């Protein structure tokens, strides 16, 4: 059975109302946006991130993660879909240096803080290979809904196999509880491929024997 503990719960994040307020429904996504280039992260406000720079918003996340997942400075930590690596940077600043991040976006990785850039790899999760029972903590925040179902069917068991303690996984996923919410998400960010309800996600990961933390986040409601 999976749990819902969320180390990100107090980290600065847009509320559904704020997202609704700034979103630009008539916007047509460029190729650069759709391939997670500069337009995706640092385009004009109201479109995707609308600018994403380091502001320390994840500084409290590390403390919570260490407590929840019993991490020590030498723990091996992997983030799937790390973008600019700002969460891993917080681990690094607290002397957790056994870190790895993977993201498909070359732009995001090239925009990451220099001290951690060598720990980040530009790679797609769709053909990822991970070693067995290697990581002390694997997390992925708001990334899995950007993958198609067949990739997810391959990836979830891979993650479970690759972590040493099976409950030391945190997946944060964007969910839609109605077709209205799903349309809103897709017009806000058409790079989403698997927009489903929280019940769907819970059943999906459970079908692979997932016992980590699954946090379902509604972007619009
Ligand atoms: C909504 S962003 C979340 C980024 C970061 N985890 C955060 O919470 O700020 C989605 C991320 O997934 C990455 N991504 C999308 N498809 C991917 C794939 N097939 N392989 C690896 N990363 C992917 C994007 O480049 C982007 O950084």
pLDDT at residue 165 in the model: 98
Q: How far apart are CA 203 and CA 200, in angstroms?
A: 5
pLDDT tens digits, residue range 8-64? 876 656 677 666 666 666 667 899 999 999 999 998 776 777 787 888 889 899 999
Q: Please state the pTM of the whole predicted model.
A: 0.94
Mutate to test the pocket of ligand 1, among 6, 83, 127 (most ligand atoms within 8 A of CB): 83
pLDDT at residue 10 in the model: 63
CB neighbour list of residue 110: distance below 8 Å, 6 or more residues apart: 117
pLDDT tens digits, residue range 149-162? 999 999 999 999 99
Mutate to test the pocket of ligand 1, among 143, 185, 193 (most ligand atoms within 8 A of CB): 143
Pick the CATH number of 16-25+32-218 from 3.30.360.10, 3.90.25.10, 3.40.50.150, 3.40.50.1100: 3.40.50.150
pLDDT at residue 160 in the model: 98
> Residue 1 — pLDDT band, cuts 50, 70, 90?
low
What is the rounded average pLDDT for all residues in the chain? Answer: 91
| Residue 101 CA: distances (Å) to CA of 75, 91, 199, 204 | 14, 12, 28, 24
For the stretch 98-102, contacts whose Cβ atoms lie closer than 8 Å and that sit 24 or more positions apart, written own/partner, are: 98/74, 100/76, 102/78, 102/128
How is the chain split into domains, by residue range? 16-25+32-218
pLDDT tens digits, residue range 113-127? 999 999 999 999 999
């Amino acid at each position: 059975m999976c749990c819902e503990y969320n180390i990100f719960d107090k980290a600065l994040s847009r509320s559904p109302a704020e997202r609704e307020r700034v979103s630009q429904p008539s916007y047509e996504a460029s190729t650069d946006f759709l391939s997670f280039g500069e337009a995706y992260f640092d385009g004009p406000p109201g479109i995707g991130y609308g600018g994403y720079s380091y502001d320390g918003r994840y500084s409290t996340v590390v403390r919570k993660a260490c407590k929840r997942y019993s991490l020590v400075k030498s723990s091996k930590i992997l983030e799937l879909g790390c973008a600019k690596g700002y969460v891993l940077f917080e681990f690094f600043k607290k002397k957790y240096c056994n870190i790895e991040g993977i993201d498909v976006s070359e732009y995001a990785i090239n925009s990451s803080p220099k001290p951690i850039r060598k720990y980040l790899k530009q790679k797609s999760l769709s053909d990822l290979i991970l070693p067995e029972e290697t990581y002390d903590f694997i997390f992925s925040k708001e990334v899995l809904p950007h993958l198609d179902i067949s990739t997810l069917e391959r990836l979830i068991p891979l993650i479970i196999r690759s972590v040493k303690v099976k409950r030391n996984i945190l997946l944060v996923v964007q969910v839609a509880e109605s077709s209205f919410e799903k349309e809103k998400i897709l017009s806000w960010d058409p790079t989403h491929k698997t927009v489903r309800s929280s019940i769907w996600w819970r059943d999906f990961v459970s079908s692979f024997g997932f016992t980590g933390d699954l946090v379902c986040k509604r972007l619009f409601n």
